[in-house]
Structure 1
Amino acid sequence: MSELFKDRKEIILSYINHPEYVPLKRKEMSLLMEVPKSDMDVFDGILDELVKEGNVIETKKKKIMSLAQANMGKGTFLAHPKGYGFISREDGEDIFIPTSEVAGAMQRDTVLYKIINPAGAGKKADGIVIKILERGVSRVVGLYQPGKSFGFVVADDKKMAKDIFIAKKYTMGAVAGHKVVVEIIDYGENKKNPEGKIVEILGHINDPGVDILSIIRKHELAVEFPQEVYAEIENIPEEVLEADKANRVDLRDTLTITIDGEDAKDLDDAVTLEKLSNGNYKLGVHIADVSHYVHEHTELNNEGYRRGTSVYLVDRVIPMLPHKLSNGLCSLNPNVDRLTMSCIMEIDGSGTVVDQQICESIINSNYRMTYSKVRELIEDKTPELVEANKEIIPMLMEMNELRMILGEKRKKRGAINFDLPESKIILDEKGKPIEIHPYERSIATNLIEEFMLVANETVAETAFWQEIPFVYRNHAEPDDAKMEKMEQFIRGFHYYLKKKDGEIHPRELQRVLQDVEGKEEERVITRVLLRSMMQARYSGDNVGHFGLAAKYYSHFTSPIRRYPDLQSHRMLKKMLHGEFNEAVAGEYRDIVAEVSAHCSKRERIAEEAERDTVQLKKVEYMSKHVGEVFEGIIAGVTGFGLFVELPNTVEGMIALADLNDDYYEFDEKKMLVAGKRKGKIYALGDHVEVYVAKVSKELGTIDFMFEN
């Protein structure tokens, strides 16, 4: 699309969306907008495209209306295995779509919808699907089951409510039990099943590795890099060239360390610290200068953009960039020169950044430290370890001082600290899960987190006031309806939120989290608060970060594994070199908007894939414990069942239909179920004993029952 066409399209859409616009026919609109006759074909083409995209409506009387005037909206359809679904909206609560009004929509389709009954009294709005604008899924992974004259595939994604019909000529020789990839060739109309053709056989369902490979294919994650990318990186050197070291701030003589997990290979951040004579701290956060090697308009950059992020599955990492960069030239390994982008901050005793410098630099890291070593040095002060690392002990102690100062500053301004346990799954050499436990957080992980947070904020604030195009990391204020529902719930535990001018400051949520710390209801209330939050997203506009109570926030610290960080580095470099004029800035504002939208989507896909592999291995692990008894906590209450979480982070469900000692009714406000005859109550946060009743690898479910 030409820039002129794009500009005209935006002008026409703005005209139609104006509050004072009244529906007009095309000719009437063209006259009012003074469109020359010579441009009428282009004008009609733009309107056709806007209608096709679902951005405007053309009525039966041929009048053009905005979506708001037609009481319609555009959103993503999220399907349920039972046939109904929801429209996901960025600007509010989801909309319920009953089975009869789905109109053939499938998982992740972009649809045009109409609200029939608005939300109210704790009830979601419901509506109907008017039109499918774009299909969200073109390929499906599932289990092949043959028939006499045809076969069908049962999708792994249970949100695909219908099996996919496979004609004999499209089976590729698949047999019963094969996991396959199906390309949909007919989505099915009038309640017909979709039809497809098998394009890849992954292996038998019981073959080692097929389970994870199925998830990789389901989310269409690219594992191998295109040959064009490998051809390009042949020209990238193994070590930093002397010519590339020029015109940089030389920090090679500054004591520098990296702190990462034991298994980390892509070391993209290093830190330095100096206590100044005025009592302030000079903190340097040095990030791999990936943009020096990954240039715009190259296949390497294009592939990194397509991926958007590295994906951390339970048994592997699918990197955004090839290992030659991510584990080699751009990894800040010890005792080698590395090019970096540095954010060097002077921070006073209250945690305020009083001075800062963002620059292109070169470092030579002295120590490759791990979280466990740093924790042991700071907390345990193990003599042998202290002796081996005595050069950096004073700096580590000062880093710990600064960690506490920065943490206290964030706490005072109201940053919310959601500390829900993440899963650490240990696999054997065959990929079988042998141990599951919560991921351990420590002083060391918190130290690096605080330093990265302050760097991200400092960089974002600099970009904002310099008015350069930039990718911000925004976290919008919570939806009012979700907040109200959350408030009702925590009142049941005698916790209350104070409002100012009808608004809730994040400090209030932080106060509740502090109040519940160490109490039985801590995990449950933390989970409910977290679910009431909006999702963080990338944007070219700075909105601020509600959860961090930060006016400015960005992702600057991981360009090896996140494309938005890489894009932001490019913008900072252009700022440093004075390359922005009005034309260049305008061009890059469009680019950062596209990068933000694309990378927000890629982030969601990566998160789903990561969750799928974790759940897969949890189910596989629990399949060896059927019949065993565990203590757990009720972590979710719904109208159909209770979700119980075990101390090792595994979660399973007790279906209300399986509780045969009474008929249980669901109280949504109090988040509990109560027996109608005997009055027994099961509420969110209750500690319970359960046994593993059933595990289904095919469905990915774990069923618990109460221990009598």
Structure 2
Amino acid sequence: MSAFAVQLTNGCLPSDIEQEDKNTFQELQRIGALEEVDGLWRLSSLYRAGRLYIGKDGRGYVEAQFKEQKDLLVEPDHLGDAKHGDTVVVKRIIARRGRASGKVVMVITKAHLFTIAYTHRDEAGNFLILNIKTGEPTHAVMEGMDLKAFKLGTVMKVDVDDDKVLEVFGHLDDPRVDEKISLALFNREDAFPPQCIEEALQIESEVTKEEHPERVDLTHLDFCTIDPVTAKDFDDAIYFDIPSYTLYVAIADVSHYVPYFTEIDKEAKKRGFTTYLPHKSFPMLPRELSENICSLKPKVDRLAFVAKIALDKNSLKPVKEEFFEAIIHSKHRFNYEAVDKIIKTDGKEATGKVKEILHYLLPLYKITQRLRKARLKHGFDFRSEEIKLTLNEEQLLTQTQIETGTPSHSLIEECMLLANQASAKRFKGDGDSIFRIHEPPQLSKIEALLTELAAIGLYVEEYEDAPSLIRAIQKEAEKMGLSAEVDAMIIKSLRQASYSAHNVGHFGLGFSHYSHFTSPIRRYSDLILHRLIKTQLTNDEEEAEYLLRNIEPLCVRVSELEREATKAEWDFRDRKFARWAKTQIGMFFEAEVIEAGESTKAVLQGEIKGVTVNLRGDNIMLFDRIRVMITEVNIAQAVIMAELVNKLEKEEMDL
């Protein structure tokens, strides 16, 4: 359900409504669909808001919002102009045969405003406009232009309502068009509106201590940052005081620079997250902020929001957790590779300020190792591999690299986890904050996974609950040398992590309380959490009331935006893999089957990592080691087809 639909269902003030929803809100008031109760406007009992699903028989259903409700049937002649996936307001009516059903009175959020399509000619020579997402024929018109005049493979953005071409993106033969396609398919933005940039340029470019006398001055402490070598925005810095066993996690104080209702805030709320493609990032905040005044750069004063966590020296449990606004002065910028080398050599080659920082950083690394070991007694360590793509100037794939967690990653991760937990523990969890939740899996899903794994001889007989079953599966997979492969399957069977106003804990991490506090430069969820904690520190009840009145729709919004950002990243990766595979048609590759059955898939084993192919062939089993030949590539839909050549013995794969 959309954020606006949540507001209509829960009740809201007219002033809470986003600008783009105000006309719809007023129209719903005009037709009498809304009623005012205790000062809040909500849908009256005859109306319901929800996402519309249309079945193959043409009948629609509006999803139930509460356990006591049923999905509401909408007959084809009561759908109006609504399309599958739209969020609608329906009015309950009595349908034929006396069953309660609904009639769509308004579409409040369209599932799709536009289609990405391309020109194509089929084998029979027919000219077609194809939807790039589905491969199905669609329609497009362009004033004063015959689309047949375009070169075949021309990509365009088409309005879903009137089929008018809104923009021509380029051509499928040009690898640079991939970026435009992936961003557009998942509503990701590149350029910022001019008013955002204007606001950003008016913000101070340096921090002057004298202007912030109310802040805690921590500039004397040897904070440092640890990030990828290519990083331009530094969200977090750390310092550890050994005598008191106190960890300071300093986070960029974005909320100081981005007040409510500013153009920057509106745009950040719309984007939700920074999107990362291999060659470029598409930030949530203008670069004038994210890479400058908000970034905790080395050797300059910066405003920070600090989590100060004192640990028990024996148990490493937090004994005191504080949050406050501060000024810090990061003394050194490390990258992951440099810290890994320092840990490996115990810092023997370090000199100057780096050597001073290592007095706490190396002991802190040992502490974080203990923290991780304790955490994994309750949480899980899934061996997922990140594939990093390298593109050339033409935006073609030249190489891939598997990125695994290293000691430096682990050091920073454990520090951030402590701060994220501390931030969540400040709240009750009954709709009073924004939590990062991961619900426990349905046991039926894990048992279905067991059935699938039984086909390759992996059995688990004794287990008490979902966590013990997952651990038992992992143990058996390790014996068979299939840890990474089985972990990938386990992850697929789990629910997705999301944002919620109600705390149910984080199953994957094994935490009872968890929020996202540490990345406000690139996640809107963290920015909201900072604002909420600050209302506690200043006892600002009015601001807290505003935030919490809208917290549920906001959680819905950021959860959806997170999925869209991730899908855009995956779609772009798959397009680059497809372009590479096009140059490999007719070539043979060793591969491993990762899905068997109706849609058999395999991952190629070779210099280019992570390429998944759709497989044709008989008697293919899960995790079979095979030889395949790439036979066909659809660049528009980023689909790679391959044929089974033969199965391999394990020894052949290891050569």
- Could you tell me the TM-score, scaled by structure 1's length? 0.75
1:470 aligns with 2:433: yes
Alignment of 1:252-651 (within 5 A): 252-276=219-243, 281-348=245-312, 349-381=314-346, 384=349, 389-412=354-377, 414-464=378-428, 469-492=432-455, 493-496=457-460, 500=464, 503-504=465-466, 506-517=467-478, 519-580=480-541, 584-646=543-605, 648-651=609-612
Q: Is the 8 A contact 1:350 1:409 kept in 2?
A: no
1:46 aligned onto 2:21: no
Letter in 1 for 2:376: K
SS in 1 for 2:368: helix
Taking a change above 3 Å as real, the CA distance of residues 297 and 446 of structure 1, as seen in their structure-2 partners, is same
**Local SS of the residue matching 2:366:** helix
Provide, for residues 153-186 of structure 1, a one-character-per-residue CA deviation record: whole Å limited to 9, x for no partner.
312112x634224366576896133211111225
Q: Which residues of 2 match residues 88-237 of structure 1 at below 5 A?
A: 108-110=85-87, 135-145=110-120, 152-158=128-134, 161-166=136-141, 169=144, 175-176=150-151, 177-186=153-162, 196-237=163-204
Q: 1:686 aligns with which of 624, 627, 651?
A: 624
Shift, 1:421, TM fit: 0.9
State the AA in 2 paired with 1:179: V
Instruction: Note the alpha carbon deviations across 1:586-622, whole angstroms, 9 max, x for none.
Output: 3321222222111111111101100001111111222
Which AA in structure 1 matches 2:361?
L
Work out the CA distance in 2 between the residues paired with 1:556 and 1:171. 53
Contact 2:379 2:508 in 1 (8 A): yes
**Maintained 8 Å contact 1:520/1:685:** no
Deviation at 1:498, TM superposition (A): 5.2
Distance in 1 of aligned mates of 2:362 and 2:238:
14
Residues 556 and 591 (structure 1), Cα distance of their counterparts in 2 relative to 1, 3 Å cut: same
Q: Post-superposition shift, 1:553?
A: 0.7
Q: Is the 8 A contact 2:51 2:62 kept in 1?
A: yes
State how far apart, in whole Å, the 1-side matches of 2:399 and 2:10 are. 54
Q: Distance in 2 between matches of 1:556 and 1:433?
A: 35
Could you report, residue by residue, the CA deviation over 1:87-132 in whole angstroms, capped at 9, with x for unpaired residues?
999999xx9x9xx99x99866444799xxxxxxxxxxxxxx99979
- How far 1:260 sits from its partner (Å)? 0.2
Asked if the contact 1:330–1:560 (Cα under 8 Å) also holds between the matched residues in 2, the reply is: yes
Could you tell me which residue of structure 1 aligns to residue 94 of structure 2?
Answer: none
Is the 1:644–1:654 Cα contact (8 Å) retained in structure 2?
no
Q: Deviations over 1:62-104 (max 9, x none)?
A: xx7798xxxxx95465999xx9999999999xx9x9xx99x99
- Residues 308, 244 of structure 1: alpha-carbon distance in 2 compared, 3 angstrom cutoff: farther
Q: Read off the aligned partner of 2:327 and give its amino acid letter.
A: I
Is the contact between residue 171 and residue 198 of structure 1 (CA under 8 Å) also seen in structure 2?
no
Q: Which piece of structure 1 moves more, 477-486 or 441-450?
A: 477-486
Q: Which amino acid aligns with 1:646?
A: Q
Looking at structure 1, the residues matched to 450 and 121 of structure 2 have their Cα atoms a distance apart, in angstroms, of 52
Shift of 1:683: 2.0
Deviation at 1:140, TM superposition (A): 1.2
Letter in 1 for 2:558: C
> Quick one: distance in 2 between partners of 1:161 and 1:172?
17
**Correspondence 1:704 to 2:645:** no
Matched, 1:242 2:209: yes
Q: 1:373 to 1:519 in 2, by over 3 A?
A: farther
Instruction: Look up the equivalent residue of 1:394 and give its one-letter code.
Output: H
What one-letter code is carried by the residue in structure 1 that aligns with 2:218? Answer: L
Aligned residues of 2:8 and 2:43 also touching (Cα < 8 A): no
Structure 1 letter corresponding to 2:615? I
Query: Structure 1 residues 111 and 436, CA, compared in 2 at 3 Å: closer, same or farther?
Result: farther
Is the CA contact 2:118–2:132 (under 8 Å) kept in the aligned structure 1? yes
8 A contact 2:603–2:610 mirrored in 1: no
Residues 1:142 and 1:43: Cα distance change in structure 2 (over 3 Å): closer
Cα deviation, residue 265, structure 1: 0.4
Cα deviation, 1:280-335, whole Å, max 9, x if unaligned, reads x3111110000110001111111111111111122211100011110000111100
Q: Which amino acid is 2:436 matched to?
A: R
In 2, Cα distance between equivalents of 1:108 and 1:235:
41
Query: Quick check: 1:625–1:692 contact (8 Å CA) kept in 2?
Result: yes
1:326 alignment partner AA: S
SS at match of 1:185: coil
**Post-superposition offset of 1:410:** 0.8
The letter of the residue matching 2:274 is: S
**Counterpart amino acid of residue 390 in structure 1:** K
| Residue 197 of structure 1, CA deviation | 0.8
Deviation at 1:585, TM superposition (A): 3.8
SS in 2 for 1:639: coil
> What residue in structure 2 maps to residue 117 of structure 1?
none
Cα distance in 2 for partners of 1:47, 1:606 equals 33
2: distance between equivalents of 1:175 and 1:157?
Answer: 20
Per the alignment, in what secondary structure is the counterpart of residue 499 of structure 2? strand
TM-score, structure 2 as length reference: 0.81
Residues in 1 aligned to 2:214 and 2:285: alpha-carbon distance in whole angstroms = 26
Which structure has more RCO (C-alpha within 8 Å, separation ≥ 6)? Answer: 2
1:586–1:225: structure 2 CA closer, same or farther, 3 Å change rule?
Answer: same
Q: Is contact 2:140-2:158 (8 Å) kept?
A: no
CA distance in structure 2 between the aligned counterparts of 1:479 and 1:56, rounded to whole angstroms: 33
Cα 1:625–1:399, aligned 2, differ >3 Å: closer, same or farther?
Answer: farther
| Residue 369 to residue 511, structure 1, CA distance change in 2 (3 Å) | farther
Deviates more, 1:130-139 or 1:239-248: 130-139
Uncovered stretches (5+) of structure 1, i.e. residues with no partner:
13-40, 50-54, 58-63, 68-72, 114-127, 187-195, 665-680
Residues 1:707 and 1:364: Cα distance change in structure 2 (over 3 Å): same
State the 1:139 CA deviation: 0.7
Map Cα deviations across residues 230-253 of structure 1 (whole Å, 9 max, x no partner).
Answer: 221232011013344321121111
Q: Which residue of 1 aligns with 2:19?
A: none
Give % identity.
Answer: 27
**Aligned in 2, Cα 1:130/1:633: closer, same or farther, shift over 3 Å?**
farther
Relative distance call for 1:10 and 1:442 in structure 2 (3 A) is: closer
**Mapping of residues 647-686 of structure 1, within 5 Å:** 648-655=609-616, 659=617, 664=618, 681-686=619-624
After TM superposition, give the deviation of residue 706 of structure 1 in Å. 2.2
Residue 21 of structure 2: aligned partner: none
Mapped to 1, the partners of 2:322 and 2:191 lie a distance apart of: 38
Q: Is the contact between residue 431 and residue 551 of structure 2 (CA under 8 Å) also seen in structure 1?
A: no
Change (3 A) 1:163 1:383: same
